[in-house]
Structure 1
Amino acid sequence: MTDTTQQSGAPAPVLLDPSAVAQHGLKPHSHGGGTVPDKSRAERTRSFDVADFPLPTGREEEWRFTPMDLLRGILEERTSDEGAATWAVQAPDGVTVASLEPGQSPRGNALTPADRAAVIASSGTPEALHVKVANEVELTEPVRVSLTGAADLRSNAHTVIEAGRHSKATVVVDHVGSGQHTGNLEIVVGDGADLTVVSLQRWEDDAIHLGQHDAKVGRDARFKHVAVSLGGKVVRINANVEFAGPGGDAKMFGIYFADAGQHLEHRSFVDHSAPHCASHVTYKGALQGEGAHTVWVGDVLIRASAEGTETYELNRNLVLTDGARADSVPNLEIETGEIAGAGHASATGRFDDEQLFYLQARGITEAEARRLVVRGFFADILAQIGVPDVQQLLKDAIEDELEGAMGQAPVRVDA
């Protein structure tokens, strides 16, 4: 198993800002990707103008892992095809569902496009879906939003989820069907609110989905983002968090399971600009089959104004068969030494032989032992979803994935 770990209190060891390096006498570095990013994450382009994002070639840092040959059509600026997507929303009392035009607040308050796919989704959506949880409301049932794509058609979408002050809610956004989809998910978490957003990517095998999910977390607010990617030929989700006031807490979780020929890519960015906020990022993935490819790139930026920050990011990948590849790149950028703690870790490996031996020694077959190991691998993140029927649905889906893996040759010891 390849394991990359870095952890610290104050001062922290990873400093990519030149002034911070000079101040603390530390050298910038990055784990997992082999190169240090060419510039600070704070300097990345963000814009609502498509012209600011030329068609990528794949040589750019943010696109270098992505199979660009499969994305040419989806990155062309165009409107949605008629009948390309069907929406359904189930919302309990205390939730309003409406639409927002470009420039109509809170649309644009939390999300500014950070790549060409996101700006196309924004400009190609005349009316964004707006799901708002009222102030002080605590929901006992989740809000459910589903999008069903149609084969061979192209859709754009921009969805705004707003949690009012001191509200508490869970919103599940489910993507199923087929087609090509560029979608933005903009999340505004009011002061003192507690919001969980679960995004499910359960596409058919031929679907392509490029998405940007941005959240702005208010003062003393709690936010949880769970991204689950099981289906689709190419899925690429950028999940980003920024803090609008002190005392905020953000947790980001991810589950992905890639089969032969499938590319699942997740990127996370936490922008700490407010003091005394906390963030914890945990993504786990499994891979099986020839050409299965997963990517996780995690970025955390602690600005000079974010004293008292506590942050940690973790990525784990379990390779089930030969022919699969996992790329994992954690990055940590710190501009102040006055923090509570910061660190990151990344590991990619095969089944643990000792675990398998322990289970088989107690009469459990090898196939069932492998299932138990994978179930345990994902169990902690599945528990974070908090919606029993969704958790069971995903457990069943993972079981289906494992059924496909049982007939394949397991990864070699020397792989």
Structure 2
Amino acid sequence: MTSTQTESTTSDVAPTGLSTDHSRAAADGAHTHGTGGTPQGSRAERVTSFDLDVITVPSGREEEWRFSPVAKLAPLFAADLASSGVRTTVVESPEVTVEIVGRDDERLGKAGVPGDRTAVTAWNSIKEATVVTVPAQAIASAVTSIRVEGINNTPTANHLLIHAGALSESVILLDHIGSATLTETVEIVVDDGAHLTVVSVQDWATGAVHASSHRIRLGRDAKVKHVVVTLGGDVVRLTPDAEFTGEGGEVEMIGLYFADAGQHQEHRLFVDHAVPRCKSRVTYKGALQGEAAHTVWVGDVLIRKEAEGTDTYELNRNLVLSDGARADSVPNLEIETGLIEGAGHASATGRFDDEQLFYLQARGIPEGEARRLVVRGFFAELIHSIGVESIEARLLASIEVELSKSMSVIEGTAPVTA
């Protein structure tokens, strides 16, 4: 991928890419480092509340909504949404328990507080929730699959709680299919010493609108691998938050997205280092093709003054496959103590490298297959880092489907569609 250095991380398609790259090094004092957008206050000062009157309906001019298609998301801002638009089905590992509980269950609402309008409407609209529990010290023998299936486009709220007990090990696959207009809360509570992998796939049909708040709470020495894969739907807006509550916690946040013509895919992450000696790694990669394909990635990391010994790095890469697409990428790093192991971020957006394509074609590889090889290589390392063979195989197959759309456009046999 071709790129040139610049201080802007927001770009329309251009002949060459735009990037920022800030090397990982220990900070020498408290400071805030953000690029590519309107100046904003400390992420620590963000308003959060379970109260609808506190988090009001956005106009689209707010920092957290300025990239979003607010008009399309507006049905999810209503105060009282239905629960009839999706069907949730769980196929659990034998060691895992599944319950349907009322909204007054004391386990709900423990993994953080809503931070935007769709999140607070989701909380206030639910009548019940699905709770998936991995008991303490249990080692799950199979992947637990949660399928959220859209059955109509009634504006709907849904709530899931995934609770990994102390010293447990498990993998959870969260699958979104069909068509829906959905705002969703996914609470992920990981107790001391637990190891949890959560893979959330957004493979919606055309017409779907999905806003989802993933709130992750890690205990002492807990390890979480949080994977987001966004492929389908007209509008998908995910806001994963991770909060450390005990020393020694580690979170790895991986994202893969592929936007076609007319699709809006937005991922806004927040990693809150509030205790000492925790580690976070964020790596998101996306590809775009087709007129008005739009992706947004915003990565916020806050290292509070109490979080000495923090080790953090975030990376976003975007590969533009055709004219008319737009990628916005905004990394933000806020540091309140200089006593850390390291912190940094990098962001780049660019087209195919013509020299790389020429190199492959010069060795007898047709242009279409050369492009496939480049995109496969762009995503391959990320997919293989998931560590679950069945999920990796499925994602590789999905990427092939997206590449087939891209190749048909290049060859003039079909238009790019969502």
Query: TM range, normalised to the smaller chain?
Result: over 0.9
Matches within 5 A, 1:80-119: 80=82, 82=84, 84-119=85-120
Quote the Cα distance in structure 2 between the aligned partners of 1:32 and 1:275: 29
Point out the more displaced range, 110-119 or 264-273.
110-119
Quote the Cα distance in structure 2 between the aligned partners of 1:273 and 1:174: 31
Quote the Cα distance in structure 2 between the aligned partners of 1:40 and 1:322: 36
Paired residues, what number? 395
Matches within 5 A, 1:188-199: 188-199=189-200
Q: 1:51 Cα shift? A: 1.2
Matches within 5 A, 1:281-292: 281-292=282-293
Change in CA separation of 1:346 and 1:13 when aligned onto 2, cut-off 3 Å = farther
**Structure 1 residue 31 corresponds to structure 2 residue 35:** yes
Point out the more displaced range, 334-343 or 152-161.
152-161
**Structure 1 residue 6 corresponds to structure 2 residue 8:** no
SS at match of 2:31: coil
Q: 1:390 Cα shift? A: 2.2
Matches within 5 A, 1:53-132: 53-80=55-82, 82=84, 84-132=85-133
Quote the Cα distance in structure 2 between the aligned partners of 1:32 and 1:347: 12
Matches within 5 A, 1:41-60: 41-60=43-62
* Counterpart in the other structure of 2:372: 371
Contact 1:149-1:155 within 8 A present in 2 as well: no
Quote the Cα distance in structure 2 between the aligned partners of 1:292 and 1:351: 17
* Counterpart in the other structure of 1:139: 140
Contact 1:218-1:248 within 8 A present in 2 as well: yes
How well do the aligned residues superpose, as a CA RMSD in angstroms? 1.5
Quote the Cα distance in structure 1 between the aligned partners of 2:355 and 2:28: 35
* Counterpart in the other structure of 1:385: 386
Quote the Cα distance in structure 1 between the aligned partners of 2:20 and 2:89: 42
Q: 1:353 Cα shift? A: 1.8
* Counterpart in the other structure of 1:232: 233
CA offsets per residue over residues 243-275 of structure 1, 9 Å max, x none?
A: 110000000010000000000000110000110
**Letter of the 2:350 counterpart:** G
Quote the Cα distance in structure 1 between the aligned partners of 2:199 and 2:83: 27
Q: 1:7 Cα shift? A: 2.6
**Letter of the 1:271 counterpart:** D
Quote the Cα distance in structure 1 between the aligned partners of 2:168 and 2:129: 22
Q: 1:402 Cα shift? A: 1.1
Matches within 5 A, 1:262-277: 262-277=263-278
**Letter of the 1:5 counterpart:** D
* Counterpart in the other structure of 1:183: 184
* Counterpart in the other structure of 2:210: 209
Quote the Cα distance in structure 1 between the aligned partners of 2:31 and 2:39: 11
Quote the Cα distance in structure 2 between the aligned partners of 1:317 and 1:12: 30
The percentage of aligned residue pairs carrying the same residue is: 52
Q: 1:203 Cα shift? A: 0.2
**Letter of the 1:295 counterpart:** V
Contact 1:9-1:339 within 8 A present in 2 as well: no
Point out the more displaced range, 279-288 or 135-144.
135-144
Change in CA separation of 1:152 and 1:283 when aligned onto 2, cut-off 3 Å = same
TM-score, scaled relative to structure 1: 0.92
Quote the Cα distance in structure 1 between the aligned partners of 2:221 and 2:83: 42
Contact 2:86-2:152 within 8 A present in 1 as well: no
Contact 1:12-1:342 within 8 A present in 2 as well: no
* Counterpart in the other structure of 1:21: none
* Counterpart in the other structure of 1:251: 252
Matches within 5 A, 1:153-172: 153-172=154-173
Q: 1:210 Cα shift? A: 0.3
* Counterpart in the other structure of 2:409: 408
Change in CA separation of 1:14 and 1:30 when aligned onto 2, cut-off 3 Å = farther
Point out the more displaced range, 346-355 or 104-113.
104-113
Contact 1:12-1:341 within 8 A present in 2 as well: no
Quote the Cα distance in structure 2 between the aligned partners of 1:229 and 1:165: 30
Quote the Cα distance in structure 2 between the aligned partners of 1:147 and 1:260: 25
Contact 2:193-2:221 within 8 A present in 1 as well: yes
* Counterpart in the other structure of 1:310: 311
Quote the Cα distance in structure 2 between the aligned partners of 1:12 and 1:234: 41
Q: 1:357 Cα shift? A: 1.8
Bigger RCO of structures 1 and 2 (CA < 8 A, at least 6 apart): 2
Change in CA separation of 1:344 and 1:399 when aligned onto 2, cut-off 3 Å = same
Q: 1:53 Cα shift? A: 1.5
Q: 1:81 Cα shift? A: 5.2
**Letter of the 2:34 counterpart:** S
Quote the Cα distance in structure 2 between the aligned partners of 1:222 and 1:159: 20
